[in-house]
Amino acid sequence: MKECRKLRQDYRDELAEYEKELKLLLKQGGKGTGTYSVYKSIPDLMRRAIIVISTPSTPSRPNNRNPFKHKDEWMQQFIQLRNDLMIRLYFNYGLRRGELLLLDIDSVKMSAPTPSGEVKYLLAVTSLDDDYIDPRSYEPSIKTAYSHRVLSLTKRDYTHLKGFINQYRAKLFDDDIDNHKVLFTSSQSPYKPISVSRIKDIFNILDETITKHYPDFRNTAIYESLPHLTPKVGRHTWAYEMLKYNYAKEYDASIKIAAHTGGEFIGEKQIMDNVVDSLRNLGGWSDYSDMPRNYGKRFFAEQANQRNIRRVNEDAKKVKDELESIIETEKTEDIFYAF
């Protein structure tokens, strides 16, 4: 119970912080930079609105925007926590739909402590045990050999996953119900592993809720047509945001190294190659997949568009300055000839 109370307190604190974002998002009405629908990703502002919506309610601080309700308070907490964790794993860590369905209660681990006591929080993405017979009509599988990987988790996400496993999921299983060990389960007895169809339902409900509370995201007069929310949209959104973040970090580091050593700047192409390789490993793409490099092409295309916009704006300013100069000259000449 102590861990359960701690988990609730974490969500109370988190929801208080998100209330500030809720007010900001409502004030902005979702207005911001659009995205290219061809890539099946969404703007970062919309991703943050999703996290705001999916944050679980607590008894002392309800999240009225969370659409996942149940008549039983404890079961509602179970469902909301489960759904929030799944949504975060899709949007913040880029898991494929099937990879999440294959996680079990042993997938969430800590590394061995270093001599200084530091540990890492880990998520093992791999297949279920060979002897496990999956009851789902759609049997999930790891896409390729490259998809087996270990991801680092934030301490917050590790703690909440462990809290879900030990304080919520564990209460579902007793001597009469077989504990199949799959991490995310149905909310109905006998609590089978969560199905693809249920994941689809959750994302459909989430999409309807976004449209209800932040309708401007579906307003094509403001944004390009944004994709319907799915796990794949979560993965695409994660991948592009990850690439942009890593590129900016690598670029700044390369500039500092060149300035400090007096060497040459390694160049944007080499930086992007490094970032693409990193993204490939994190996302579990094969060496032959073009997808990670496609994100790089998209990034450079957007950079080129932004530079062109800056060029047009700078040119417009020069034209304005020259026009004002001509007008001032004409005024001066009129005064001269008046004498």
**Residue pLDDT, tens place only, 1-19:** 666 666 666 666 666 665 6
User: Rounded distance, CA 322 to CA 316, Å?
Assistant: 10
Q: What is the pLDDT of residues 228-238, one digit of tens each?
A: 999 999 999 99
Q: How far apart are CA 102 and CA 148, in angstroms?
A: 11
Q: What is the average pLDDT score of the chain? A: 82
Q: What is the pLDDT of residue 4?
A: 63
Q: pLDDT value at position 31?
A: 47
* Highest mean predicted confidence (pLDDT) among 206-215, 247-256, 294-303: 206-215
Residues 277-324 pLDDT 10s: 888 888 888 888 888 877 777 777 777 777 777 788 777 777 777 777
Q: Report the range of poorest mean pLDDT among 158-172, 180-194, 321-335.
A: 321-335
* Amino acid 333: pLDDT: 53
Going by pLDDT thresholds of 50, 70 and 90, the confidence category of residue 336 is: very low
Nearest one of 242, 244, 284, 234 to 40, comparing CA atoms:
234
pLDDT at 33: 45
Give the chain as a 3 state SS string.
CHHHHHHHHHHHHHHHHHHHHHHHHHHHCCCCCCCCHHHCCCCHHHHHHHHHHHCCCECCECCCCCCCCCCCHHHHHHHHHHHHHHHHHHHHHCCCHHHHHCCECCCEEECCCCCCCCCCEEEEECCCCCCCCCCCCCCCCCCCHHHCEEEEECHHHHHHHHHHHHHHHHHHCCCCCCCCCECCECCCCCCCECCHHHHHHHHHHHHHHHHHHCHHHHCCCCCCCCCCCCHHHHHHHHHHHHHHHHHHHHHHHHHHHHHHHCCCCCCHHHHHHHHHHHHHHHHCCCCCCCHHHHHHHHHHHHHHHHHHHHHHHHHHHHHHHHHHHHHHHHHHHHHHHHC
pLDDT in the model for residue 274: 86
